[in-house]
């Protein structure tokens, strides 16, 4: 009886097992210079060393074993960036961004956490404190509150991820779903809701978002049911004059315990697609946008016995957008010799991930030091903001 049917604009995005799920969450805030910020949460522990191979490290090939990629110049080889680091070939589409200075990387970075549990680490990634379940709100929501300007946050997708939960009001919408309510029913409902303090404003905001999304959808050439097209719709929404200023996208499927060569390649293609899709859809607004892609932890340096890698510690973070001071790999490289690894298995962290968040929030969204240290990232004095990530 009560079985809803959901027709999606982009079929197949969630079709196959292990496929990618894109559930964007958006927030509108008054941001300095009308900037845009997109947080891309990669759930499952992305292999940072796989995405950004340190092919120039003398121990790279031996340490990675079966997980090592062919050298630059070889077939399916690493796409070199600066002689020391490169891109996984599936991220090759981002090379133009790197060359234009719109792509940066922070490598060997992790949360202050080493127990390798997805559940705990993802919570820590989003709560902004120094321990899992340390807060019921997220650092990004708290940062929006700290910005001072009135914030109406729009969340898109099924739920609001922790990072966007908190005192700043968050609303929800799904950009991939067309609103299918007939005009007659809608009109009658609007009548019924008139004067209702909860339902009327929510309905009105929902319909307004749907209108903006419809515009974004028609202007995005939906070639295939893929992440790039989905990102295009979201990009169009964010770039819209009345659209949200802050967005959170989620991509899962990174937990590559087996068959990493196949799975990681597909995942990274989607990331490249998401970033280029956003760039294309946002047009001039890309110039004042910063996209930050993070994962809860990295993976083991060496391959395991099933063609994959296991949960690790430090990983890599990507920053993309016109607001990025790009063309550089930030962070001190700890090395891949066995004695340089954590427990002889994981890449060691030389930058606290919170330093990256703080550097972006301060440099791009103008969040002041006081609130940043006291409210947004309490207990993080030992992780100073990472400078130089944001242009200007």
For binding to other proteins (CB under 8 A), which residues are involved? Answer: 1-6, 119, 123, 133, 136, 154-156, 158-159, 162, 169-174, 179-181, 184-186, 188-189, 191-193, 196, 198-199, 202-203, 205-207, 209-210
Candidates 259, 276, 362, 379; CA nearest to 318 is 276
**Residue 87 CB neighbour total at 10 angstroms:** 25
Q: Find the shortest distance in angstroms from Cβ 50 to other proteins.
A: 23
By the 8 A CB rule, do 107 and 52 touch? yes
Rg (CA), the chain: 21
Nearer to other proteins, 206 or 287 (CB): 206
Q: Find the shortest distance in angstroms from Cβ 138 to other proteins.
A: 12
Nearer to other proteins, 114 or 287 (CB): 114
Nearer to other proteins, 260 or 355 (CB): 260
Phi and psi at residue 110, to the nearest 5°: -155, 170
Nearer to other proteins, 28 or 358 (CB): 28
Q: Find the shortest distance in angstroms from Cβ 128 to other proteins.
A: 15
Nearer to other proteins, 181 or 337 (CB): 181
Q: Find the shortest distance in angstroms from Cβ 126 to other proteins.
A: 11
Q: Find the shortest distance in angstroms from Cβ 219 to other proteins.
A: 21
Nearer to other proteins, 172 or 353 (CB): 172
Structure tokens at 17: 């097992």
Nearer to other proteins, 83 or 182 (CB): 182
Q: Find the shortest distance in angstroms from Cβ 85 to other proteins.
A: 34
Candidates 316, 325, 324, 224; CA nearest to 277 is 224
Looking at residue 306, the DSSP 8-state letter turns out to be T
CA angle (315 as vertex; 70, 385 as ends), nearest 5: 135
Q: Find the shortest distance in angstroms from Cβ 142 to other proteins.
A: 17
Nearer to other proteins, 136 or 241 (CB): 136
Structure tokens at 181: 């309510």
| Strands of 28-169, DSSP E | 36-43, 79-80, 86-87, 103-110, 153-156
Q: Find the shortest distance in angstroms from Cβ 250 to other proteins.
A: 13
Q: Could you tell me whether strands 79-80 and 86-87 are parallel, antiparallel, or unpaired per DSSP bridges? A: antiparallel
The gap from C-alpha 276 to its chain's centroid, in whole angstroms, comes to 14
Candidates 326, 338, 248, 314; CA nearest to 82 is 326
Q: Which residue has the tokens 């009308």?
A: 34
């Amino acid at each position: 009886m009560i079985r809803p049917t959901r027709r999606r604009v982009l079929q197949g995005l969630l079709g196959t097992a292990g496929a990618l799920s894109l559930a964007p969450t958006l927030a509108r805030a008054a941001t300095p210079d009308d900037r845009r910020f997109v947080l891309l949460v990669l759930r499952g522990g992305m292999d940072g060393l796989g995405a950004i191979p340190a092919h120039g490290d003398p121990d790279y090939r031996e340490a990675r074993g079966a997980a090592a990629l062919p050298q630059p110049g070889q077939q399916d080889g690493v796409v070199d960036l600066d002689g020391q680091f490169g891109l996984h070939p599936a991220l090759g589409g981002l090379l133009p961004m790197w060359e234009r200075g719109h792509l940066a990387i922070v490598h060997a970075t992790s949360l202050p956490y080493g127990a390798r549990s997805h559940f705990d680490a993802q919570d820590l990634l989003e709560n902004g404190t120094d321990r899992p379940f340390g807060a019921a709100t997220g650092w990004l929501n708290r940062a929006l509150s700290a910005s001072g300007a009135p914030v109406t946050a729009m969340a898109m997708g099924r739920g609001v991820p922790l990072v966007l939960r908190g005192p700043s009001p968050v609303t929800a919408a799904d950009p991939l779903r067309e609103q299918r309510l007939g005009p007659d029913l809608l009109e009658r409902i609007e009548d019924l809701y008139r004067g209702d303090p909860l339902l009327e404003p929510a309905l009105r905001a929902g319909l307004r978002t749907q209108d903006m999304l419809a515009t974004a959808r028609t202007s995005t050439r939906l070639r295939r049911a893929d992440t790039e097209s989905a990102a295009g719709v979201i990009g169009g929404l964010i770039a819209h004059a009345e659209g949200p200023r802050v967005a959170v996208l989620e991509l899962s499927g990174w937990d590559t315990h087996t068959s990493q060569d196949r799975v990681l390649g597909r995942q990274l293609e989607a990331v490249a697609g998401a970033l280029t899709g956003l760039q294309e859809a946002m047009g001039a607004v890309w110039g004042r946008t910063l996209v930050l892609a993070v994962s809860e932890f990295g993976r083991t340096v060496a391959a395991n016995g099933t063609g994959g890698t296991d949960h690790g510690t430090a990983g890599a973070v990507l920053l993309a957008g016109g607001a990025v001071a790009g063309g550089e790999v930030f962070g001190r490289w700890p090395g891949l010799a066995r004695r340089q690894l954590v427990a002889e298995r994981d890449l060691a962290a030389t930058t606290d991930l919170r330093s990256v968040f703080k550097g972006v929030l301060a440099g791009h969204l103008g969040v002041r030091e006081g609130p940043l240290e006291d409210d947004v990232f309490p207990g993080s004095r030992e992780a100073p903001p990472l400078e130089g990530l944001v242009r200007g």
